[in-house]
Structure 1
Amino acid sequence: MLGNLPAETTSFVGRSVELATLDGLLRRNRLVTVTGPGGVGKSRLALRAARERRESCPDGVWWVELSPLCDPVLLAATVADHLPVAEQSTRTAAEALCGWLGDKQLLLVLDTCEHLVSACGHLIGELLQTSPGLTVLVTSRQRLGRPEERVFSLSPLPPEGAALTLFKQRAAEAVPHLSPSSFDAPARAEAAVAVCRRLDGIPLAIELAGARLRLWTVEQLAERLDSRFEVLADTRAARLPRHQTMRTTIGWSHELCAPLERLLWARLSVFAGGFDLDAARDVAAGGPLEAEGVAPALAGLAAKSVVRTRTHRGRSGYRMLDTIREYGRQWLRELGEEDEVARRHAERCRRLAHEAEAGWMGPDQLEWYERLTAEHADLRTALEYLLATDPAAALDMAASLWFFWFCCGHLREGRDHLERALALAPEPGPARDRALWALGMTAFLQGDMETALHHARRCAEAATDTESGLRAAYLLGGAILMPGDPEGALDVCTPVIDAADIDYSPGLVLCVLARIYALTNLARYAEAAAEATWLRDQCAARGERWMRAYADYMIAVTALALGRPDEAAVHARAMLAGKRLLHDSFGIALGLDLLACALAAQGEGEDGALVLGIGQKCWRTVGKAQMGAPRLTAVREECERRARATLGDRAYDLAFRRGMSTGLDQGLSYALKGDFAQGS
């Protein structure tokens, strides 16, 4: 099934009635909000309900966790990032979402919306109005207030029922020699019920308390918990009892932590997403908490359920639940360290951006892609902090992430950060020139050639070394080439390449790629093939994948033009395999068009039409089909002409529609394997 649902990492106990009720609401309503206090299990219930709905959602169930997001301006872009919407046009993120969702039947889950209520309500209203097959499930501590919203208020677990079952499970996890039967003795059973009752049946509070059974008996836990509530309960605060229970329980867990564990808890609250031990050391070590003390303190927090282990995109690490993070952030503020720790966090992310830029064009490219994707929320948080406190550093970081914006599908966000940083840091210099180039790159891939051309000319004028000159020439040549002037592009790129005294760099391979495109557009196929083969070999020797795939694409283009469609199909599939690893939707769309053309040229008209349909579906996620470029459009039109000539119009239309109705992942698998009969 399509979707991106996270793994269930916490127990789901005693919610069968609530699950059935929520499922019924989702069947009858297009917007359902699950409300309740922190820790009551809203996300748990929503995740289980989403899993139950997968079979009835042809276009999938998609999960968007919003807790790391602070800037409501980035809401639509964040939602788009979690969906297969690789929009590469100048439309707004909200417009792109509306366009992509227009004919879909899916469930969209927005988790943890209470800090973005207004923005979420506005965006959801737009999406529901333009997407009749869309259902939205929201979790929030407060309702959105939309007229079509149905609110499901989630109550805590019954103390003598599901809450007790959850407590016993957590106890068994904390203390291996305990089992459910360990609570059969009357005194122990009564104490366990008393704990659940005292904690109002709130699942997170029960889990935090259950972790203390490593140190105390159940009877001791009940007694100490009761006394702690009397001491910690804030009767002055105008909170609902269950909010007060949750806060008091977290406060009690905080008191039971060792001093260095408390300090680490506070400092770790700066992370918007997950983190590993190295990240924790970078940001949280200092003062009484020395670097070698971070690991044992982190292990202590994990044992007390303050942090939880997680695996994300193949990387192991830790995460902190929102309610617990909020408590830590309050303590960080009271310690007077909020700005200092945020600065350390931002500097770590800035270093990470520099390291990733240096390693992007090498053998660790895929690992860098996975790592930065996993740390996206923290990169965004760091940029927001730097924009507010150190615009020059924000400019440097945003420019260093050019490949993340350009190659990894975050064009809108990158353009927003770059434009804001350039406006806030107007001083001329190398960092500003790099940022202007990165901004031009985002505009170029969005199809905004006027802006790309403007920045390219400024970069060309400002270039002071070989690499900056190559990068500027690529951007300028590409912006000239795409509207249809290959001779002008060649005139820009060739002198700079010929004068370069380096063997390999991002600027060189980009500029060579632009020249190859220009040569093919001028029908100088033998020259283009030779350069594309050289480029592919250079990238392959260094383990680089992103640019190597585009070199394979150009080899396929020239092979097709030279009458070798079998060879073209081989290289088109090689290109698609590389782009699939890096989730480059633009590259995948290009590759599918080219593979379709190669298949049609081999006389396989039905397969060509089917792949062309799959490619067209992919273009709909990217934005403007073929970027509106004459050469790219011509490839598709030639494929359609050949396939129609082979099949006839009716058979062509049937095969094309079959491709359009195939899921992108499934369609790409068929295209790579050539096993089209199985997918029909």
Structure 2
Amino acid sequence: MATTHASAPQGRESECCDHAKGRGARSGHRRSGRSHRAGRPADGGHEGPARAEADWFGPRQAEWFTRLRREHGNLRPALRFCLDTEGEAAAGLALAITPRHYWLTFGSLSEGRHWLSRLLDAERAQGTDSDVRAPALCAYAYLGMLQGAAQDTLPVIEEARSVAERHGDRSALAWTRHPLGALASFRGELTEAATLFDEALTAFRELGDQGAAVQCAFKLAITAAHLGDLERATALCRDHEAIAAAHGDRWVRGLTVFARSLVSWHRGETGDAARRAREAIRLMPHPTCALRTPPTGLRKPPRPKSG
């Protein structure tokens, strides 16, 4: 559980948490977050985080990356306020996962897990069951999996699945398959990984979430390539690179180009593989910025308490 900080600020942070809570629909709640930035709206109004989420898969991605990185220091006191204020944990969770891959993009995996763990525990202690909990659990599980906390990942994803089913959240259900697919891939269970990525890809296509679909597609392509299905891997990369390019996206497009470089390498086409790898690096400026993220001094986050 979180520790209580004396005299938590009661000004604009409170207004912003009110905004995060009062969304009316789950997607609005999840996307309502980061405009507060300890009371300083990112774009002069509360529409900032919703726009960041909507624009993340598009031509304004680099602009939002720069803006959110510049304001990162203001996010911490707002999250702390939500953590320390009764009834605001769900609002804090919404802030912490908007945009969805915020912590991953900035290379701040430990800090992201730190806040999500404490906010998830706080929400449970407050006896609430918000519809932002399932996406937050998925985000926490994926960050943990990337840090090698495989044993912690499975029960967190199971809780996310249960919460998503209870709320009828098809998007969160699809996202539960994503970290499971990655975990299976890391374990060398490639057939299982391919099945999970394929299920997630199909679900996101049905939901019309093309950004999420492209993310699953390039992971499925890499898995298919390792399984020897180079034709399918090539088709997945080609089709979804085109989708990302049409949206003006650079980050996911770059990852898809990188996946295609691996396919070329599997084919023995080393020249083409090197060319595509260089193109992927050119398209993805974000990781170079993330590598410069200063240390936070935060301890390794605990796993959220299970019910």
* Counterpart in the other structure of 1:62: none
Q: Secondary structure at the match of 1:528?
A: helix
Distance 1:539 1:358 in 2: 15
Assess if the C-alpha contact under 8 Å between 1:599 and 1:608 holds in 2: yes
**Equivalent residue for 2:68, pick from 391, 414, 417:** 414
* Counterpart in the other structure of 2:53: 403
| Farther-moved stretch of structure 1 (569-578 vs 424-433) | 424-433
> Is 1:583 equivalent to 2:245 in the alignment?
no
- Cα distance change, pair 495–387 in 1 and its aligned pair in 2 (3 A): closer
> Is 1:450 equivalent to 2:115 in the alignment?
no
Q: Which has the higher strand share?
A: 1
- Cα distance change, pair 533–507 in 1 and its aligned pair in 2 (3 A): same
1:637-680 Cα deviation digits (max 9, x unpaired): xxxxxxxxxxxxxxxxxxxxxxxxxxxxxxxxxxxxxxxxxxxx
The number of residues matched between the two structures is 254
| RMSD, aligned α-carbons | 4.1
Partner AA of 2:233 in structure 1: A
Distance 2:161 2:104 in 1: 21
Distance 1:503 1:554 in 2: 26
Partner AA of 2:67 in structure 1: E
Q: CA deviation at 1:457?
A: 0.4
Normalising by structure 2, report the TM-score: 0.67
Assess if the C-alpha contact under 8 Å between 2:222 and 2:262 holds in 1: no
1:162-219 Cα deviation digits (max 9, x unpaired): xxxxxxxxxxxxxxxxxxxxxxxxxxxxxxxxxxxxxxxxxxxxxxxxxxxxxxxxxx
Q: CA deviation at 1:435?
A: 1.6
Assess if the C-alpha contact under 8 Å between 2:244 and 2:253 holds in 1: yes
Q: CA deviation at 1:556?
A: 0.8
* Counterpart in the other structure of 1:431: 91
**Equivalent residue for 2:133, pick from 469, 477, 486:** 469
**Equivalent residue for 1:538, pick from 203, 206, 209:** 203
Q: CA deviation at 1:446?
A: 0.6
Distance 1:571 1:454 in 2: 35
Q: CA deviation at 1:458?
A: 1.8
1:565-584 matches, within 5 Å, as: 565-584=230-249
Assess if the C-alpha contact under 8 Å between 1:533 and 1:555 holds in 2: yes
- Cα distance change, pair 459–490 in 1 and its aligned pair in 2 (3 A): same
Assess if the C-alpha contact under 8 Å between 2:93 and 2:136 holds in 1: no
Assess if the C-alpha contact under 8 Å between 2:105 and 2:290 holds in 1: no
Assess if the C-alpha contact under 8 Å between 1:398 and 1:435 holds in 2: no
Assess if the C-alpha contact under 8 Å between 2:233 and 2:263 holds in 1: yes
Distance 2:199 2:268 in 1: 30
- Cα distance change, pair 358–471 in 1 and its aligned pair in 2 (3 A): closer
Q: CA deviation at 1:617?
A: 2.2
Distance 1:592 1:527 in 2: 24
Distance 2:241 2:101 in 1: 22
Distance 1:496 1:355 in 2: 21
1:144-543 matches, within 5 Å, as: 358=27, 387=39, 400=50, 403-404=53-54, 407=57, 408-409=61-62, 410-414=64-68, 416=71, 418-419=75-76, 421-422=78-79, 427-428=85-86, 429=88, 430-438=90-98, 441-461=101-121, 462=123, 464-465=128-129, 467-497=131-161, 500-501=164-165, 504-543=169-208
Distance 1:357 1:524 in 2: 34
**Equivalent residue for 2:229, pick from 548, 564, 569:** 564
Partner AA of 2:118 in structure 1: R
Partner AA of 1:459 in structure 2: L
> Is 1:553 equivalent to 2:241 in the alignment?
no
Distance 2:130 2:79 in 1: 24
- Cα distance change, pair 542–424 in 1 and its aligned pair in 2 (3 A): closer
Distance 1:524 1:497 in 2: 21
Q: CA deviation at 1:553?
A: 1.4
Q: CA deviation at 1:521?
A: 1.1
> Is 1:607 equivalent to 2:272 in the alignment?
yes
Distance 2:206 2:52 in 1: 23
Q: CA deviation at 1:582?
A: 3.3
Q: CA deviation at 1:546?
A: 0.5
* Counterpart in the other structure of 1:647: none
Q: Secondary structure at the match of 1:438?
A: coil
Normalising by structure 1, report the TM-score: 0.33
Q: CA deviation at 1:451?
A: 0.6
Distance 1:521 1:478 in 2: 12
Q: CA deviation at 1:443?
A: 2.5
Distance 1:434 1:553 in 2: 27
Partner AA of 2:91 in structure 1: A
- Cα distance change, pair 355–539 in 1 and its aligned pair in 2 (3 A): farther
Percent identical among aligned pairs is 15
Distance 1:421 1:626 in 2: 22
* Counterpart in the other structure of 1:156: none
Partner AA of 1:611 in structure 2: R
Q: Secondary structure at the match of 2:134?
A: helix
Q: CA deviation at 1:509?
A: 2.9
Distance 2:257 2:25 in 1: 29
Q: CA deviation at 1:452?
A: 0.8
Assess if the C-alpha contact under 8 Å between 1:557 and 1:594 holds in 2: yes
Q: CA deviation at 1:528?
A: 1.9
Partner AA of 1:438 in structure 2: T
Q: CA deviation at 1:547?
A: 0.6
**Equivalent residue for 2:287, pick from 606, 623, 645:** 623
* Counterpart in the other structure of 1:47: none
Distance 2:152 2:116 in 1: 14
Q: CA deviation at 1:482?
A: 1.8
Distance 1:483 1:555 in 2: 21
Q: CA deviation at 1:512?
A: 2.4
Structure 1: give runs of 5+ residues left out of the alignment: 1-349, 362-379, 629-680
Distance 1:594 1:405 in 2: 23
- Structure with bigger gyration radius: 1
Q: CA deviation at 1:466?
A: 6.5
Assess if the C-alpha contact under 8 Å between 2:96 and 2:112 holds in 1: no
Bigger relative contact order, structure 1 or 2, given CA contacts below 8 A and separation 6+? 2
Q: Secondary structure at the match of 1:623?
A: helix
Distance 2:291 2:254 in 1: 11
